[in-house]
Structure 1
Amino acid sequence: MSAEEQVQLEDFGSIFSLEGKVAVVTGGSRGLGLHAASGLLQAGCSKVYITSRKAQACDEAVAALNALPNKRPGAVAISVPADNSRMDELDRLVAEVRRTTDRVDILFANAGATWGEKFDTHPESAFAKVMDLNVKGVFYLVQKFTPLLTSHATRDSPSRIIITGSVAGIGIGALGENATFSYSASKAAVIHLAKNLAVELGPRHILTNAIAPGFYPSRMASGLIEKRGGIKALEEFSPNLRLGRPEDIAGLVVFLASRASGHINGAVIVSDGGAVLKGRL
């Protein structure tokens, strides 16, 4: 093959475009999910369904997303509140999405919960709640959305599943008085689940990958950030001297949803500036 032939890349100018794609974002009413939803809309998605447990939070997120000035003409965010830890609610979520689309191209399984408690008193009810949402809920979310994910998928245009893990599922999470045993175990489990789903669903033209964020300032992370010494201490600990920003997570999710990631399946991408490589603060 000549050099002239080798420099020809098919439609490279739009390789990150999500023009016309349909996305569902769980845990999409705030934090990482809302950052990612904004990125998906601005990258060209025609519909982005926002779901989380609280209806008011979903409605507020959708109103903010629909006010974005640079989304494609006619693009819309849609609120579908649901409790992702309950099977009947997942069934209702899928049914609600089906009312306005016959396809889902991108499923961002981002809903999650945590619990901080020392080892000796860590309650069984909290452990079960975290595992039900963070692991079992993800599996059945994927299972129930698979018919919509496969409806328009092809080998050369596969659908995408993106699962939110955590660096706590790769390294060691919080210990001590506010230990997150259930959260850390759940994130390790869901990362491994993503790898199993990648092999199971790849032949059905669905690519599955996981992301493992480190500290991103958010309401969910704020308490733990303070217990680790605050934002400044965590920034100084990180090799790139900062914490995550909204554009970091949005860009990563858009990349994994786009043609640019068309040969990535079963991967786990850490987004923490390299902090997990240094161990615990």
Structure 2
Amino acid sequence: MADETALHDFPSLFSLKGKIAVVTGGSRGLGLNAASAFLQAGCATVFISSRKAKACDAAVAQLNALPSLAPGARAIAAPADCSSLAGVRSLVEQVRRHADHVDILFANAGATWGEAFDTHPDTAFSKVMDLNVRGVFLLAQQFAPLLEARATRDDPSRIIITASVAGLSVGTLGPQATFGYSASKAAVIHLGRNLAVELAPRHVLVNSICPGFFPTKMANGLLALTGGVDRHAQANPAGRLGRPEDIAGAVVYLASRAGSHVNGAAIEIDGGSLWSRGGLFEANAPEPKL
């Protein structure tokens, strides 16, 4: 009878030693949290992408100054607009200049728009859907050759998608309604499930994370408009909002050997607030335009 207490190389279970990661929307907020986690968990190279080159350069400087990096580990700036095929192809080519494969693709870039139903512009809806859904599909499609290059059944590559609890419930309604954002996050969760089944035989696993409120540059305006951090923290069953370590733990788990049999999942990271509201995600809270 096998020893059920025996675990293969447990000390390395959450290690990302030597891995290569690409993080879109990586110059700030949750993307920068995740990039820091990937590097500190052992990644050899993490590519930081967002639309603004200066923002990428600033994020890379912060990351490369971290004191706990493995020898030779580095972050590299790779600015690109991931809402278009041309932008995604540009990102792939920038990555190819430095690497012949990718182990982790964190599709994190996203946008939102808040406006009432009767005046909600078509251009805003299209912008949000293009980046939050179409852009994720294009990233998976165009990076597939690099993700498959060294992937095996026992060491699969990963795609991690940033969705939202807004995609699991009703989003913001009223004067600052976010119809496109909520619809896009629901769509990208289901896209992730389809990609998970399609790509698993090619040794690429696909999962989504669904954050709630995190005090980031993107969310701080909304938090202030709806009562502030303390109000939202008190309303959360866990008594607080999200922290960088909450994102870090989730993405390292999904990217490491610890998550190697997780595929097609959508992991909520919100302290249980989704369910405490009976499924409503701040239905009357305004959101800022981006």
Q: Which category of TM-score, normalised to the shorter sequence, fits these structures?
A: over 0.9
The correspondence for 1:211, drawn from 201, 209, 214, is 209
- Residue segments in structure 1 that go unaligned for 5+ positions in a row: none
Residue number in structure 2 paired with 1:70: 68
Give CA-to-partner distance per residue, 1:110-148, whole Å, 9 cap, x none: 000000111111110000000000000000011000000
What displacement does 1:149 show?
A: 0.2
Return the letter of the residue paired with 2:60. V
SS of corresponding position for 1:90 = helix
Return the letter of the residue paired with 1:143. Q
Residue number in structure 1 paired with 2:169: 171
| Correspondence list, 1:29-178, <5 A | 29-178=27-176
The correspondence for 1:234, drawn from 222, 232, 254, is 232
Return the letter of the residue paired with 1:152. R
The correspondence for 1:24, drawn from 19, 22, 25, is 22
Residue number in structure 2 paired with 1:252: 250
SS of corresponding position for 2:209 = strand
SS of corresponding position for 1:70 = coil
Residue number in structure 1 paired with 2:288: none
What displacement does 1:226 show?
A: 2.1
SS of corresponding position for 1:16 = coil
Give CA-to-partner distance per residue, 1:14-44, whole Å, 9 cap, x none: 1000000000000000000000000000000
- TM-score for the superposition, normalised by structure 1: 0.98
Residue number in structure 1 paired with 2:285: none
Q: Does 1:265 align with 2:272?
A: no
SS of corresponding position for 2:98 = coil
Give CA-to-partner distance per residue, 1:67-107, whole Å, 9 cap, x none: 00101000000000000011111111101100110010000
SS of corresponding position for 1:269 = strand
Return the letter of the residue paired with 1:33. G
| CA root-mean-square deviation | 0.8
What displacement does 1:207 show?
A: 0.5
What displacement does 1:176 show?
A: 1.0
Return the letter of the residue paired with 2:154. D
Distance, in Å, in 2 between the alignment partners of 1:119 and 1:59 is 38
Distance, in Å, in 1 between the alignment partners of 2:257 and 2:18 is 13
Distance, in Å, in 2 between the alignment partners of 1:260 and 1:46 is 19
What displacement does 1:274 show?
A: 0.2
- Residue segments in structure 2 that go unaligned for 5+ positions in a row: 283-290
Give CA-to-partner distance per residue, 1:237-256, whole Å, 9 cap, x none: 11000000011101111110
> Which range moved further: 219-228 or 56-65?
219-228
The correspondence for 1:180, drawn from 169, 178, 187, is 178
What displacement does 1:228 show?
A: 2.4
State the number of aligned residues.
Answer: 279
Runs (4+) of structure 1 exceeding 6 A deviation are: none
Return the letter of the residue paired with 2:42. G
SS of corresponding position for 1:6 = coil
Residue number in structure 2 paired with 1:225: 223
What displacement does 1:225 show?
A: 1.4
Distance, in Å, in 1 between the alignment partners of 2:114 and 2:219 is 11
Return the letter of the residue paired with 2:67. P
